[in-house]
Amino acid sequence: MRKFLLIPSLLAAAAFAQDPSDPPEDSPYEQMQILARAMQLIRQDYVDESKVSYKDLTYEAMRGMLATLDPHSQFMDPKDFKSMQEDTKSEFGGLGIVVSQKNGMLTVISPMEDSPGFEAGILPGDRILKINGQTAEKLTLQQAVDKLRGAVGEKVSLTISRPATKEIKDYELTRAIIKVPSVKDAQILSAGGGARIGYVRITQFNEPTAAELSKTLDKLEKQGMDALILDLRYNPGGLLNSAVDVAGEFLPSNTMVAFTRGRTPAREYRTQPRGSHERKYPLAVLVNYASASGSEIVAGALKDLGRALLVGETTFGKGSVQSVISLPDGSAVRLTTAKYFTPGKNLIHEHGVSPHIRTSLTYDEETDLLRSRRKQENIGKEAKLYMDPQLARAMDVLQGTLTFAKRQN
């Protein structure tokens, strides 16, 4: 039997180097060697040679890395990155269903109006169990989105679970070009006492949203609008800068709308100088459980700064920052880098924004509201706005505010 002896000084050095209380060194060079060796073995020995190009292996490794971090971080190949850029320009192909991971389930945040998903009757909160017969349980968010999108005109089958009624239903939808006008239903609502209350609904925040809203408000003001209801229900978000600019329509310039905290230095988002006059009339904002991301930033800012009364339900609670970083080959990484806070230092992520006046809709009331919006799109812009309980409550609040102000004067 061989015996190995260590002189005391070397023994002490070895014990010091292997002290279990010391954290192991996280060396990028060693880990890259391991990854490179694994890729070499796969290319050398894997049975299907067509699947083991360096590009394929690298892309899949990056997808796996990002998917393990959180549901919102993802790797986008050049095709996916181009599709994401097209989304923000208000026109793209798909089913028009905004989805997210919630409690481990692929959940519909909101179906976009005028889309196949909206017209079929899919509702916010529906859970997608299967896509084209394949279970969605183990799909990442990006994998699910990839399956929902595709060539225009192709059919996609979905199996949906609806928690409100505990029913499971199958849908067959056809992909279409989704055009998303983000500012809709602008009109003056009649109220008691001669008050002229304006109503505007924002479906999501795209590049032209703030400019569209500004023009719409100018028109309503010329019609003698005394107060405004801004409807952000079922708004899944969109571009952050667009949301900040929308909030800026009702706030002084250089006002902080939100700020972030993360590993990178904190960043503040402030309103830009506006050329038109200040909009000082009373404002109520409608929110619900499907108001997410950008709509939560707008609602949270207007609430904390005392500019608006929020009516409805606590919002979705999606307040993390995703930075999109392009890579040399046209692909990109979407990485969660921080979390959003309102001006009052309230965390949005997984908390949401709570309303001043809590008013909920029953399942039947919500179904009637969404059905009326589908009917409205089919009939045209002249269709009468459905007066749901949340909207009626907001009108009551503004009417009372106007009456009080009139008596004070």
Task: Answer yes or no: do 324 and 380 share one domain.
Answer: yes
Q: What is the pLDDT of residue 12?
A: 35
Share of the chain above pLDDT 70, in %: 89
Domain termination site, one of 114, 144, 179: 179
| Residue 249 sits in the same domain as residue 104 | no
Q: What is the pLDDT of residues 364-401, one digit of tens each?
A: 999 899 888 876 655 444 457 889 999 999 999 999 99
User: Is 155 an active-site residue?
Assistant: no
Residues 334 and 210 in one domain: yes
The stretch 106-125 carries a mean pLDDT of: 87
Does a structural domain hold residue 27?
A: no
Can you give the CATH number for the domain in which 121 is found? 2.30.42.10
pLDDT band, very low/low/confident/very high, at 342 (cuts 50, 70, 90): very high
Q: Is 222 designated active site?
A: no
The answer to whether residues 335 and 246 belong to one domain is yes
pLDDT tens for each residue of 170-208: 999 999 887 767 999 999 997 767 789 999 999 999 888
pLDDT band at 9 (very low <50, low <70, confident <90, very high): very low
- Asked if the model's pLDDT at residue 353 lies above 60, the reply is yes
Last residue of a domain, one of 179, 198, 226: 179
Question: Which of 136, 154, 179 is at the close of a domain?
Answer: 179
Query: Over the stretch 314-327, which tens digit does the pLDDT of each residue have?
Result: 999 999 888 889 99
Domain annotation covers residue 47: no
What's the pLDDT at 377? 57
Instruction: Let me know whether 149 and 213 are in one domain.
Output: no
Task: Provide the pLDDT for residue 396.
Answer: 94
Q: Which residue among the candidates 304, 320, 331, 388 is catalytic per the annotation? A: 304
| Domain contains 61 | no
Give yes or no: residues 271 and 358 share one domain: yes
Number of domains forming the structure of the chain? 2
User: 203 and 275 share a domain?
Assistant: yes
Q: Which of 318, 320, 331, 388 is catalytic?
A: 318
How high is the pLDDT of residue 70? Answer: 87
Claim to verify: residue 159 and residue 242 sit in the same structural domain: no
Residues 112 and 207 in one domain: no
Task: Please report whether residue 86 resides in a domain.
Answer: no
Whether pLDDT at 343 is above 90: yes
Residue 89 has pLDDT above 60, yes or no: no
Range of the structural domain that residue 366 is part of: 183-408
Considering the domain architecture, whether residues 116 and 240 belong to the same structural domain is answered as no
Contact call for residues 252 and 195 (beta carbons, < 8 A):
no
Whether 31 is covered by a domain: the verdict is no
- Whether 5 shows a pLDDT value over 60: the answer reads no
Active-site entry in 182, 293, 320, 331: 293
10, part of any domain: no
Residues 209 and 123 in one domain: no
Condensed to tens digits (0 to 9), the pLDDT of residues 210-269 reads: 999 999 999 999 999 999 999 999 999 988 899 999 999 999 999 999 999 988 888 999
Structural domain contains residue 9: no
What is the domain-level CATH number for residue 205? 3.90.226.10
Known catalytic membership, residue 293:
yes
pLDDT digits (tens, 9 = 90+) for 12-53: 333 334 455 555 677 888 899 999 999 999 999 999 988 899
pLDDT for 112 equals: 82
Calculate mean pLDDT across residues 1-15: 34
* pLDDT given for residue 10 in this prediction: 30
pLDDT of 92 strictly over 70: no
138 plus 188 within the same structural domain: no
Mean pLDDT of the chain, nearest integer = 86
56 falls within a domain: no
pLDDT for the residue numbered 87: 61
